[in-house]
Amino acid sequence: MSAGHMISTIARRELTSYFASPVAYVFLVIFLLLTGFFTFTAGAFFERGEASLASFFMWHPWLYLVLVPAVGMRLWSEERRAGTLELLFTLPIAPWQAILGKFLASWLFLAIALGLSFPVILTVNVLGEPDNGQILAGYLGSLLMAGAYLAVTCMTSAMTRNQVVSFILSVVILLFLILAGFTPVTDLLVRWASPAFVDTVAAFSVMTHFDGFQRGVIDSRDLLFFLSVIGFALFATGVILRNHRAG
């Protein structure tokens, strides 16, 4: 059986398990309600008087900070708690295939949640003439950022069999990745650190790299950043799981 077929089989099984539980539907409702609230109320969508989704995308780094770890915290913690991790690796499947399959299933679930927010696109097009290319770039950046958050959560989930501990660890790591480029933080750093140091710190921030997508600019450096975070976190997940297996 080919590697691609094994990965897709695991991804389908994992995605099906999401929708077999009411938790998935609760998550989707909460996500859509929160995006609606932050876009139209907290983001003052109508008061802005501009045909853009700036008030929609600006909240995504913060929304994902809690919602993505809530989705990914069970990926490996549940396998370890239930004692099925060893069983999984006795099957004729490579660890990297299992890791990639479970990750892609969860990422697809997040993509479905993001796709269900399409009414905001219809709303802004009815009310004005927005730059839909910029909006699509924003959606691409949001999806990549969600993938990066999820990969980090996948890594923390492999560290422990306790889902709550996994959730907390991922939130702490992701909060650092946000604050590293958060404007108030960089303004504070620039008072005592050199501009080169501040730029280096900001380069590790999702805020810095997501900003370009929000403006409709798809920069290869931003793409590389998110893909590198995903790749590194999934590689670390594999190392952690191999250590557990060896132990």
Give a three-class secondary structure readout of the chain: CCHHHHHHHHHHHHHHHHHCCHHHHHHHHHHHHHHHHHHHHHCCHHHHCCCCCHHHHCCHHHHHHHHHHHHHCHHHHHHHHHCCHHHHCCCCCCHHHHHHHHHHHHHHHHHHHHHCCCHHHHHHHHHCCCCHHHHHHHHHHHHHHHHHHHHHHHHHHHHCCCHHHHHHHHHHHHHHHHHCCCHHHHHHHCCCCCHHHHHHHHCCCHHHHHHHHHCCCCCHHHHHHHHHHHHHHHHHHHHHHHHHHHC
How confident is residue 9, by pLDDT bands cut at 50, 70 and 90? confident
* pLDDT, greater one: 93 or 164: 164
Q: What is the mean pLDDT of residues 176-193?
A: 82
The answer to whether 41 and 113 are in contact (CB under 8 A) is no
If one counts the domains in the chain, the total is 1
Most confident of 48-52, 72-76, 121-125: 121-125
Give me 57's structure tokens: 């995308």
Q: pLDDT (tens digit, 9 = 90+) per residue, 80-113?
A: 776 666 666 677 778 888 899 999 999 999 999 9
Dig out the tokens for 3 from the structure: 């590697």
Tell me the pLDDT of the chain averaged across its residues.
88
Q: What is the pLDDT of residue 210?
A: 94
pLDDT digit string (tens) for 113-155?
A: 999 999 999 999 998 888 999 999 999 999 999 999 999 999 9
Q: Which range marks the domain in which residue 128 is found? A: 3-246
Q: What does the pLDDT average to over 162-169?
A: 92
Predicted confidence at residue 187, as pLDDT, reads: 79
- Reply yes or no on whether the pLDDT at 247 is more than 60: no
Q: Rounded to two decimals, what is the model's pTM?
A: 0.91
Between 43 and 215, residue with greater pLDDT? 215
Share of the chain above pLDDT 90, in %: 50
